[in-house]
């Protein structure tokens, strides 16, 4: 599928881009190159190829699920003026 200069002008208008003649010609060439690459990729026979979630067949490195710290909420909330059920209580600043 090859684009025409009119197609590029329409795309630029829809994208709210102002392209001069040289920019429009450059964009036409780049977009046609992209479409040519897509056509080549679609021509490849992929029958029998299993879909992959990741291009590398490796397992992700996972760390052990272990506690690395302790609960410091009481320490952090000790200096707060008002705390209820581990929540900071702040005065209302927006009137109803």
Pairing assessment for the beta strands 83-84 and 87-88 based on DSSP bridges: antiparallel
On whether residue 26 sits in a domain, the answer given is yes
Tokens 């272990």 correspond to what residue? 66
On whether residue 52 sits in a domain, the answer given is no
On whether residue 93 sits in a domain, the answer given is no
User: Does the pLDDT of residue 2 top 90, yes or no?
Assistant: no
pLDDT tens, residue by residue, 12-64 = 999 999 999 999 999 999 999 999 999 999 999 999 988 887 777 777 788 88
- Say how many domains are in the chain: 1
Domain at 16, CATH number: 1.10.20
Q: Is 8 helix (H, G, I), strand (E, B) or coil?
A: helix
Q: 84 pairs with which residues across the strands?
A: 87
85's torsion region: left (phi>0), alpha (psi -120 to 50) or beta?
left
Pair 9, 24: CB distance under 8 Å: yes
Q: Which domain holds residue 10?
A: 5-43
Pair 79, 88: CB distance under 8 Å: no
User: How far apart, in whole angstroms, are the C-alpha atoms of residue 70 and residue 65?
Assistant: 14
The structure's pTM equals: 0.51
């Amino acid at each position: 599928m090859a684009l025409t200069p009119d197609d590029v002008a329409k795309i630029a208008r829809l994208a709210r881009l102002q392209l001069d003649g040289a920019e429009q010609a450059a964009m036409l060439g780049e977009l046609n190159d992209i479409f040519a690459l897509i056509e080549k990729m679609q021509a490849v026979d992929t029958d029998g190829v299993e879909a992959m979630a990741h291009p590398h067949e490796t397992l992700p490195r996972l760390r052990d699920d272990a506690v690395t710290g302790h609960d410091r909420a009481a320490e952090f909330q000790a200096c707060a003026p008002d705390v209820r059920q581990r929540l900071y209580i702040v005065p209302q600043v927006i009137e109803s």
